[in-house]
A and B are shown apart, each in its own frame.
Chain A
Amino acid sequence: DAGVTQSPTHLIKTRGQHVTLRCSPISGHKSVSWYQQVLGQGPQFIFQYYEKEERGRGNFPDRFSARQFPNYSSELNVNALLLGDSALYLCASSLPSLRETQYFGPGTRLLVL
Chain B
Amino acid sequence: QQQVKQSPQSLIVQKGGISIINCAYENTAFDYFPWYQQFPGKGPALLIAIRPDVSEKKEGRFTISFNKSAKQFSLHIMDSQPGDSATYFCAANFGNEKLTFGTGTRLTIIP
Asked if A99 lies at the interface with its beta carbon under 8 angstroms from chain B, I say yes
Minimal beta-carbon separation of A107 from chain B (angstroms): 5
Contacts of B99 in A (CB 8 A): 33, 35, 43, 45, 92, 100, 102
Complex alpha-carbon distance, A33 and B89, angstroms: 17
Q: How large is the interface on B (under 10, 10 to 19, 20 to 34, 35 or more residues)?
A: 20 to 34
Q: B82 near A: Cβ within 8 Å?
A: no
Residues of A within 8 A of B89 (CB): 42-43
In the complex, identify which listed stretch (A13-21, A48-56, A61-69, A73-81) lies at the interface while the others stay far away.
A48-56
How far does the alpha carbon of A33 sit from the alpha carbon of B36 in the complex, in Å?
16
User: How many A-B Cβ pairs are below 8 Å?
Assistant: 67
Cβ of B93 within 8 Å of any chain A Cβ, yes or no, is yes
B96 touches A58 (CB 8 A): no
The answer on a CB contact under 8 Å between B97 and A102 is yes
Give the residue among A48, A104, A106 with the most B Cβ atoms within 10 A. Answer: A104
- A selection of 22 A-B contacts at a CB cut-off of 8 Å is A33-B97, A35-B99, A41-B104, A42-B91, A42-B101, A43-B99, A45-B98, A56-B97, A58-B98, A92-B99, A94-B97, A99-B96, A99-B97, A100-B34, A100-B97, A102-B46, A102-B97, A102-B99, A103-B46, A104-B45, A104-B46, A109-B41
